Amino acid sequence: MYVEEREEGGFCIYANNQYFPSLDWNDKEEISQNVKKWIYKINRIYHLSLAGFYKMYIYLNPKVGMMMELKKLEDFGMDIKTIDLRIVIYLNSDFLIEVDDIDCLKNCQEIYYDQNHFYGNVDVLSQEGILKVVEWGNFLYGDKVEEIKRRGKKIKTKKV
């Protein structure tokens, strides 16, 4: 798990698929209910400053896990520590890993190069391979993936 506090009370949270072992990755209602419970739990355990009304974007990839972006829309007031989530779910999202060294991506099927960084599609990596690579880079998801695929130079395609 990775938690990053963003500007204006927002958060970015990554959870690998092992946090949700029995989750049906195609059932939006089940995903929504499980993620809400999990967010409330980690907010309490890790003393995050989550309170107010949020729009939550969930990018799912059953092999990698999920990225959750919480954008704060409104505060409820100083004394109220309630969290209200409006959730948007993107099933089967593409994830890229951004690294500075192409050798970190030796097992990736597609590699892109853009603005002094290399980007590899993590779908072909094993869970162990993902854990090794994430140590050296950052996950990209959502619109950023499409931007890299459109703008970046494809430098490697390997048949698996």
So what's the pLDDT on residue 89? 96
Cα distance between residue 158 and residue 29, in whole Å: 37
- All structural domains of the chain, each given as residue ranges with its CATH number in brackets, are 2-90 (no CATH), 95-157 (3.30.70.1950)
Task: Write the pLDDT tens digit of every residue in 81-140.
Answer: 788 899 999 999 999 989 998 888 887 878 999 999 999 888 777 677 777 777 778 889
Helix (H, G, I), strand (E, B) or coil at 37: helix
pLDDT classification of 31: cutoffs 50, 70, 90:
very high
What pLDDT score does 123 carry?
78
* DSSP labels, 66-114: EEEEEEEEE---SS---EEEEEEEETT--EEEEES-GGGGTT-SEEEEE
pLDDT at 30 over 90: yes
